[in-house]
Amino acid sequence: MDEKDKELITKALGCIKDRLKFRNIDVLIRPGVFVADNQLPFPDELAAQLITRPFSSMTGLGIGIASLSINTTRIRHPNIQFSELTPKPIKIPFHSSLFLTKLPTNEPKTLTLRPSSVSESSVSSSIGAESLDDVDDDPTAELSYLDPETDPESITEWELDFCSRPILDIRGKKIWELVACDSSLSLQYTKYFPNNVINSVTLKDAIVSICDELDVPLPDKVRFFRSQMQTIITKACKELGIKPIPSKRCLSLLLWLGERYETVYTRHPGFQKGSKPLLALDNPFPMDLPDSLYGEKWAFVQLPFSDVKRELLSQEKSFAFGATLDLDLLGIEMDDETLIPGLAVASSRARPLAAWMNGLEVCSVEADLARANLVLSVGISTCYVYASYKKSSVTTSEAEAWEAAKKASGGLHFLAIQDTLDSDNCVGFWLLLDLPPSPV
Q: What is the mean pLDDT of residues 334-342?
A: 92
Using the 3D structure, point to which of 267, 301, 327 is the last residue of a domain: 267
Q: What is the CATH number of the domain that holds 190?
A: 3.30.420
For 395, the enclosing helix (H) or strand (E) is: helix 393-408
Same domain membership, residue 230 and residue 294: no
pLDDT band at 280; cut points 50, 70, 90: low
219/216 Cα distance (integer angstroms): 8
Query: Measured between alpha carbons, how far is 36 from 20 in angstroms, rounded to an integer?
Result: 25
Q: What is the pLDDT of residue 71?
A: 66
Q: Which pLDDT band, with edges at 50, 70 and 90, does 266 fall under?
A: very high
Long-range Cβ pairs for the range 2-6 (8 Å, 24+): 5/53, 5/57, 5/58, 5/60, 6/60, 6/61
Q: Which residue has the higher pLDDT, 95 or 344?
A: 344
Q: Which of 238, 267, 296 is the last residue of a domain?
A: 267
pLDDT at 102: 30
pLDDT at residue number 87: 33
Range of the domain at 402: 3-68+283-433
The answer on 86 and 46 residing in a single domain is no
Q: Which of 339, 401, 412, 396 is nearest to 8 (CA)?
A: 401
What mean pLDDT is predicted for residues 382-395? 93
pLDDT digits (tens, 9 = 90+) for 219-237: 999 999 999 999 999 999 9
Instruction: Note whether residue 274 is domain-resident.
Output: no
Task: Measure the CA dihedral 10/12/13/16, to 10°.
Answer: 110
Within-domain flag for 339: yes
pLDDT of residue 326: 86
Which CA distances in Å does 354 have to 25, 343, 429?
22, 14, 9
Q: Does a structural domain hold residue 148? A: yes
Question: Position 376: which residue type?
Answer: L
**CA dist., res. 303 & res. 309, Å (int):** 10
Residue 277 resides in a domain: no
C-beta separation of 292 from 199 below 8 A: no
The answer to whether position 440 is within a domain reads no
Cα–Cα distance between 86 and 414 in angstroms, integer?
Answer: 49
Domain count, the chain: 2
Task: Judge if pTM exceeds 0.95.
Answer: no
DSSP SS3 for 286 = coil
pLDDT at res. 248: 93
What's the CA gap between 162 and 160, in Å, rounded?
A: 7
Residues 197 and 81 grouped into a single domain: yes
Does residue 365 sit in the same domain as residue 308?
yes
CA distance 53 to 9: 7
Which of 51-55, 369-373, 374-378 has the lowest average pLDDT?
A: 51-55
Q: How far is CA 334 from the centre of its chain?
A: 18
- Are 79 and 212 members of one domain? yes
Q: Does residue 426 carry a pLDDT above 60?
A: yes
Same domain, 256 and 346: no
Q: Tell me what pLDDT residue 115 has.
A: 62
State yes or no: pLDDT of 210 exceeds 70. yes
- Other Cβ atoms closer than 10 A to 393: 9
Q: Beta-strand (E) ranges in 380-438?
A: 382-388, 412-418, 428-433
Both 13 and 62 in one domain: the answer is yes
In this structure, are 233 and 374 located in the same domain?
Answer: no
Give per-residue pLDDT as tens, 25-49. 333 334 444 443 333 333 332 222 2
Instruction: Kindly state whether residue 272 falls inside one of the protein's structural domains.
Output: no
Higher pLDDT, 315 or 252: 252
Is residue 36 exposed (0-12), middle (13-18) or buried (19+ Cβ within 10 Å)?
Answer: exposed
Q: Are residues 41 and 93 in the same domain?
A: no
Residue 23 has pLDDT above 60, yes or no: no
CB of 416 closer than 8 Å to CB of 343: yes
Quickly count: other Cβ atoms within 10 Å of residue 403's Cβ. 19
How far is the C-alpha of 15 from the C-alpha of 168, rounded, in Å? 56
- Pair 145, 9 in one domain: no
**Helices 3-14/393-408 angle, 10° precision:** 110
Sequence letter at residue 188? Q
SS3 216: coil
If asked whether residues 29 and 88 sit together in one domain, one would say no
H/E stretch holding 168 reads strand 157-168
Does some domain include residue 439?
Answer: no
Q: What is the mean pLDDT of residues 141-148?
A: 96
User: Could you report the per-residue pLDDT of 48-84, keeping only the tens digit for each?
Assistant: 222 222 222 233 333 344 445 666 666 766 543 332 3
Question: Does 103 share its domain with 244?
Answer: yes
CB 218 within 8 A of CB 242: yes
Element (H, E) at 225: none
Which runs of E-coded beta strand occur in 305-370?
A: 321-323, 339-346, 362-368
Distance CA 384, CA 400 (A): 20
19 contacts 32 by C-beta, under 8 angstroms: no
Residue 34 lies in a domain: yes
Q: How far apart are CA 129 and CA 131, in angstroms?
A: 6
Domain stop point among 235, 267, 299: 267
Q: SS3 of 290, please?
A: coil
CA dist 113 and 123 (Å) reads 22
Task: Give the pLDDT confidence score for residue 319 in this predicted structure.
Answer: 63
SS3 category, 430: strand
As a whole-number percent, the residues of the chain with pLDDT over 70 amount to: 68
Yes or no: say if 202 and 235 are a contact pair by the CB < 8 Å rule: no
397 close to 53: Cβ distance less than 8 angstroms: no
The residue with greater pLDDT, 129 or 251, is 251
Q: Which residues of 51-68 are buried (b: 16+ CB within 10 A; e: fewer)?
A: ebbebebbeebbbbbbeb
